[in-house]
């Protein structure tokens, strides 16, 4: 599965996913600074899923019309350690999520 990490997530997280996930970052793809609407369109053309901590995405974007699964991570902070502990839950969400669906993963 091809997965894109949003720019507010630590780039080191891409190494913590299992081998079935090919994870790249927004910065690594050269899309840093793109607005959410344009970013989601770009991502849908190349990726199966998008992982973000941007809670506004579910209200500001029409993600149901995009051929991309979205995982919204809700953690204490975006620090590496806080999000890394959620990787198993994120992987599970990715395995179940369908295009046009938003799934929340929370540390609470």
Q: What is the pLDDT of residue 60?
A: 78
Write down the pLDDT at residue 107. Answer: 81
Q: How far is CA 15 from CA 21, 43, 72, 77, 90, in A?
A: 10, 19, 19, 19, 14
> Would you state the pLDDT for residue 48?
97
pLDDT value, residue 37: 83
Residue 70's beta-bridge partner residues?
A: 50, 102
Q: What is the 3-state secondary structure (H, E, C) of 10-78?
A: CHHHHHHCCCCCEEEEHHHHCCCCCCHHHHHHHHHHHCCEEEECCCCHHHHCCHHHCCCEEEEEECCCC
Answering whether pTM is above 0.85, one says yes
Instruction: Encode pLDDT of 19-77 as tens digits.
Output: 999 999 999 999 998 887 889 999 999 999 999 999 888 887 777 778 999 999 999 99
Give domain limits for the chain: 2-106
**pLDDT grade for 6, boundaries at 50, 70 and 90:** very high
- 52-64 pLDDT, tens digit each: 999 888 887 777 7
Q: Give CA–CA dist 50/6, Å, rounded.
A: 7
Q: How confident is the model at residue 87 (pLDDT cuts 50, 70, 90)?
A: very high
């Amino acid at each position: 599965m091809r997965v894109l990490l949003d720019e507010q997530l630590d780039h080191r997280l891409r190494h913590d996913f299992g081998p079935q996930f090919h994870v790249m970052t927004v910065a690594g793809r050269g899309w840093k600074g793109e607005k959410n609407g344009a970013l989601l369109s770009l991502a849908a053309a190349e990726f199966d899923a998008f992982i973000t901590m941007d809670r506004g995405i579910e209200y500001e974007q029409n993600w149901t019309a995009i051929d991309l699964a979205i995982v919204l991570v809700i953690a204490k902070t975006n620090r590496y350690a806080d999000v890394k502990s959620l990787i198993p839950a994120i992987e599970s969400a990715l395995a179940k999520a369908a295009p046009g669906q938003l799934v929340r993963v929370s540390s609470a």
